[in-house]
Amino acid sequence: MSVELKIPVIGESVTEVTLSSWLKKDGDYVAEGEAVCEIESDKASMELPAPSAGVLKIMAEAGSELKIGAKIGELDTAAAKPAAAAKTEAPAAAPKAEAAAPAATASSGKEVNYPSPAARKILDEKGVSADDVKGSGKDGRITKDDAVNASAPAPAAKAAAPAAAPTATRAPTVPGARATRPEKMTRLRKTIASKLVEAKNTTAMLTTFNEVDMFELMALRKRYKDAFTKKHGVGLGFMSLFTKAVTVALKDWPAVNAQINGDEILYHDYADIGIAVSTPRGLVVPVVRNAESLSLAEIEKEILALATKARDGKITIEEMQGGTFSITNGGVFGSMLSTPILNLPQSAILGMHNIIERPVAINGQVVIRPMMYLALSYDHRIIDGRESVSFLKQVKELLEDPSRLLLDV
């Protein structure tokens, strides 16, 4: 008896995916629930588990673009599970043979650093040995991202010319290499590109700026971060404080939390905040639901869980849909100032930046303060200048006097 392997329904709007790589080889015996391949949609990547135990028959090549429901393989469930290979000991007369054996994981017996098919192809093109790459996947498997980031080893130095040939001359130095390496865009990257162009072309996007004195916020965080971590089991970061300030301001300026829906403006009485996360596959925006009703600790835990899933490629489409407002932090990469692009269909996005000590005037005195520039990009079709500027000013005031977040004033 055989069981078909098909591309599953991933999300309401997803009609096609890319079969990124096979994690098992044709003819391998796989256990029920064991991941057999990686598939990538326009929103996220995921591993496809085996619905039953059996011997795998591969029927679609890695890199193929497939419709939802497409058959990619079969599992022969009648095949018997192969017996574990008996371990053989090296003969005493050849103690050095052990060193030549491939390294193996203690739990599975599989070779460490074995590449996926897609990773193998990239490594072969680069001329990089799998032995020189540390795998980040399950059981030490080398993933596609590992292969993309791998560098070819430096060429070994040539042996010195023999003394009998003193007239030999060194080859002329070759200028810097100018090689190019074409690489197919991932489905996620193509979707990101399309969405960004759509946002630029279909909205009346404008950006307003302000700056926030981070002194009080940083002092508050320093004062309570150890007690916070001890009680809640999660660190107190700036993102939860910014998220809370945003949710308070959105209540007073509901247009910033609204969306255009045909000929109507759709207002939300809740705040689902998208938090931009950079991953090896591109930028994704998981959503913290009902952030307005969460405590700082609950926001921190949710952000940590979603960010971890996003970076591990485990984030689901449902966890990235339905946001009403987004926050992106370019400051973690050293950005001083930027104009973030709207995350459609949302109408506004807040950009955080790096914190720099600068001289500022306070009560007639020049003092050094940790300052951050804030940028609010918004759709001018439904958000007027008064609303956007007032919203950003309120966020600034809440962050500069964080006690207001606790007192709701």
Going by C-alpha positions, the residue among 59, 41, 44, 46 that lies closest to residue 5 is: 59
Listed range (58-62, 225-229, 404-408) with the worst mean pLDDT: 404-408
Quick check: 302 pLDDT over 70? yes
Name the residue with higher pLDDT: 155 or 306. Answer: 306
Local confidence band at 118 (pLDDT 50, 70, 90 cut-offs) = low
Q: For CATH 3.30.559.10, list the domain ranges present in the chain.
A: 192-407
Q: Checking phi first, is residue 393 left (phi over 0); if not, alpha (psi -120 to 50) or beta? A: alpha
How large is the greatest C-alpha to C-alpha distance in the chain, in angstroms? 89
User: What is the CATH number assigned to the segment(s) 2-76?
Assistant: 2.40.50.100
pTM: 0.65
Of residues 131, 380, 401, 408, which has the active-site annotation? 380
104-149 carries CATH number 4.10.320.10: yes
Other CB atoms within 10 Å distance of the CB of residue 350: 25
Can 268 be counted among the known catalytic residues?
no
Fold of 192-407: Chloramphenicol Acetyltransferase (3.30.559)
- In which residue ranges of the chain is CATH 4.10.320.10 found? 104-149
For residues 154-174, give the mean pLDDT.
52
Does the pLDDT value for residue 359 go beyond 90?
yes
- Give me the count of residues in the chain: 409
Instruction: With cut-offs at 50, 70 and 90, classify the pLDDT of residue 111.
Output: very low
At residue 12, the pLDDT reads 64
Residues of the chain within CATH 2.40.50.100 domain(s) are 2-76
Q: Give yes or no: 384 in active site.
A: yes
- What 275-280 contacts at long range (C-beta under 8 Å, 24+ apart), as own/partner pairs, is 275/239, 275/243, 275/303, 275/306, 275/307, 275/326, 275/327, 276/326, 276/327, 276/328, 276/329, 276/343, 277/306, 277/307, 277/310, 277/311, 278/333, 279/310, 279/311, 279/313, 280/145, 280/149, 280/311
Q: Active-site residue among 269, 384, 401, 408? A: 384
